Structure 1
């Protein structure tokens, strides 16, 4: 019988059946000199791939021979405290939900015993064309990694979010060959960075395109991405960004990735709408972001 592990609101290292040592790299830093959100998406990918290789043999050979084919459907990252390049981190991994054709992970990043970031993801088992039931072997292996945690909650899609023109801000993205992974479509980490770039483009537009990009502190602390369809090379895609809510200190965004008029990716993010300027005084963006509200 497998023991059930309870995950509290703020995880602790002992709550996870797998803990993976992970060294931060200089390349993981963003302009704020902290570990970037897209780097955390890659850390979670590295942890996920390592767990699947060791647990049910989902190594590259098995994937290429289509014995095990998993596609990422969604991922979420929440930054709780600054992550810096000095020192090492541990990534906790556990399975929070097992469905018919999909399963979900919970992640936590620890600096010592302090939880500095959390995340979750959902992977879909596929035959190459459509979702297919998890094999008994995979299902049994996942059971050994179970933790007690709620299943991930996906952002609302709704009909309004499928309409390209409802997002006021537009940014065109050209796929690069280096964005591709072994499945020969754009990798989930690259796609996550597209949404972060879209938000940075919006911030730069509001700020007047300052040299060096938008201010530190405007990067979202939370990013949640749904991968709705494969993104290919070569191709030019349209990123659309809108503001959904402006609070006292924070702002929420929704981003849609479109191929022509088809919605193929969706993201939500939340961050501050103010940050220190070069003179130390805060730069307030709430009023300037208001014209970019989502149109529904």
Structure 2
């Protein structure tokens, strides 16, 4: 995620940290940051596009993620702390566009992220209407980067790529207006898989406090629908590690079908070499 100056972002949205945003360390979690970014996008008003769609001049569609990424750069304090999400548009294509975000608290940059979106019709992605392109152009970041991140290769969607699996069942509370598991809830599934791995790696039941090593960054790609009802598995492998951090590869599976993958980086803590190798 390219570091763009605060003055480049045309839209600012204010939030206050809530209890649901906090991690076990008492500060806002990486998933909490992802929730703020999603809420900031929900509040954006795209006036030309809204009038065009209200007139019924566009075929039925769903707003779908192609990918998103988010990271926590610094701890954000307790409940009630004021944060600001600054939003702009990095890239505009014919069938997709990409938001860019920066999160600030007390004048310090504490998070960032991106999200690439398509309008999905019955036959696949739809060409963006001119009215939407005009709205997005008004939000274009003056310092935006034009090159999209490469999508993971087909090998990432194979079950045998992953060495650990965590079964999960979709809950009705996970489902959004598109009848899919919400993107923030799905990110939480990846967090669950990392937590389960670290608990197994360090060991539990020996009187020590359970490890708290959630990733501080995610890059997520979507390739299928995660819906309710449904039973799923999150696959996890360790890609690399050093003295301070661990890089994970993750995938969400329904049987042998991979519905999306993620790359995550988090703290190493007490994770032993034997569990990471």
Q: TM-score, length-normalised on structure 1?
A: 0.84
After TM superposition, give the deviation of residue 153 of structure 1 in Å. Answer: 4.6
Match of 1:4 in 2: none
Work out the CA distance in 1 between the residues paired with 2:259 and 2:55.
27
Q: 1:241 aligns with which of 236, 240, 243?
A: 236
Q: 1:261 aligns with which of 256, 262, 265?
A: 256
Work out the CA distance in 1 between the residues paired with 2:131 and 2:271.
52
After TM superposition, give the deviation of residue 200 of structure 1 in Å. Answer: 0.5
Match of 1:278 in 2: none
> Which stretch of structure 1 is more off in the superposition, 250-259 or 145-154?
145-154
Work out the CA distance in 2 between the residues paired with 1:61 and 1:185.
24
Work out the CA distance in 2 between the residues paired with 1:23 and 1:190.
20
Match of 1:51 in 2: 44
Match of 2:226 in 1: 231
Tell me whether 1:98 sits opposite 2:92 in the alignment: yes
Q: 2:108 aligns with which of 111, 114, 129?
A: 114
Match of 2:156 in 1: 161
Work out the CA distance in 2 between the residues paired with 1:158 and 1:8.
23
Alpha carbon RMSD of aligned pairs, Å?
2.7
The answer to whether the 8 Å contact 2:220/2:261 transfers is: yes
Work out the CA distance in 2 between the residues paired with 1:259 and 1:198.
15
After TM superposition, give the deviation of residue 73 of structure 1 in Å. Answer: 1.6
Match of 2:132 in 1: 138
Work out the CA distance in 1 between the residues paired with 2:181 and 2:148.
24
Work out the CA distance in 2 between the residues paired with 1:69 and 1:140.
20
After TM superposition, give the deviation of residue 9 of structure 1 in Å. Answer: 2.5
After TM superposition, give the deviation of residue 8 of structure 1 in Å. Answer: 7.2
Structure 2: gaps spanning 5 or more residues: none
Work out the CA distance in 2 between the residues paired with 1:233 and 1:213.
34
Tell me whether 1:42 sits opposite 2:35 in the alignment: yes
After TM superposition, give the deviation of residue 183 of structure 1 in Å. Answer: 1.1
Tell me whether 1:183 sits opposite 2:178 in the alignment: yes
Q: TM-score, length-normalised on structure 2?
A: 0.89
After TM superposition, give the deviation of residue 215 of structure 1 in Å. Answer: 2.2
Q: How big is each residue's C-alpha offset from its partner over 1:181-230, in whole Å with a ceiling of 9 and x where there is no partner?
A: 111111111111101111111011112235897423x1111111112111
Structure 1: gaps spanning 5 or more residues: 1-6, 275-283, 292-296
- Give the secondary-structure state (helix, strand or coil) at the position aligned to 1:126: strand
The answer to whether the 8 Å contact 1:21/1:89 transfers is: yes
The answer to whether the 8 Å contact 1:62/1:68 transfers is: no
Tell me whether 1:285 sits opposite 2:271 in the alignment: yes
C-alpha spacing 1:62/1:126, structure 2 compared with 1 (3 Å): farther
The answer to whether the 8 Å contact 2:216/2:266 transfers is: yes
The answer to whether the 8 Å contact 1:104/1:152 transfers is: no
Match of 2:18 in 1: 25
